[in-house]
Chain A
Amino acid sequence: MAKYAVSDLDRTFSALADPTRRAVLVRLKNKPGLSVSELARPFSLKLPGMTKHLDVLSDAGLITRTKTGRTVAVNLSAAPMREAIAWLNRYERFWTVSLDRLAVLVEEDGEQ
């Protein structure tokens, strides 16, 4: 069905499977370029904890980090998410089209 590299999708989906990481992405969508400590604050996470989450997001290609002096600015990178959504859509379409035909098949002479 889908032709995407499964390992990339695995990384994207497991990165997205954590509520803290999803919240980070939402915050970055509204406020691009937040620093690691700014990101950590609302979650009452220590910097190393947040850095671990950011490592996972970064490995999945969902964020980019840019170092300026002593500050690391974090930004959203949406391409892998678009791929994940496309994968889900294809899956949904597969079943929608199949079930349409299934319905036609069983309903055609199916007066109850």
Chain B
Amino acid sequence: MTDRLPSVTIVRRIKAAPAKVWAAITQPELMMQWWGPDAGPTLSVVADVRPGGRFSVVFRLLNGDEHNPTGIYQEVVPEKTLVFT
């Protein structure tokens, strides 16, 4: 049923050079600065940015709950496309 999951589409224009945005979404130390749904801290980021590579983020919400989303990079086109599960 995975091909029938609902989808959420978010379109965002960011006023910065593609290289800068790419760095922010692929370099762990930069990812830590923006990842997360509230002001709670991001504790660790692993990002093996290549097709088949793994990512794993641990972040803590303000309410103390910790979450660890993980996934696999599927498509990696520097400064253009980053697809991950």
Interface residues of A (CB under 8 A from B): 1, 10, 13-14, 16-17, 84, 88, 90-99, 101-107, 110, 112
Question: Are A102 and B25 neighbours in the complex by a CB distance under 8 Å?
Answer: yes
Interface size on B, residues (CB 8 A): 24
What distance in Å separates the Cβ of B79 from its nearest Cβ neighbour in chain A? 12
Question: Are A97 and B37 neighbours in the complex by a CB distance under 8 Å?
Answer: yes
A88–B5 Cα distance when bound, in Å, is: 11
9 contacts between A and B (CB under 8 A): A1-B69, A16-B6, A17-B4, A90-B37, A101-B36, A102-B24, A107-B16, A110-B17, A112-B15
**B14 an interface residue at 8 Å Cβ cutoff?**
yes
Chain B residues whose CB sits within 8 angstroms of the CB of A98 once the complex forms: 34-37
Chain B residues whose CB sits within 8 angstroms of the CB of A107 once the complex forms: 14-16
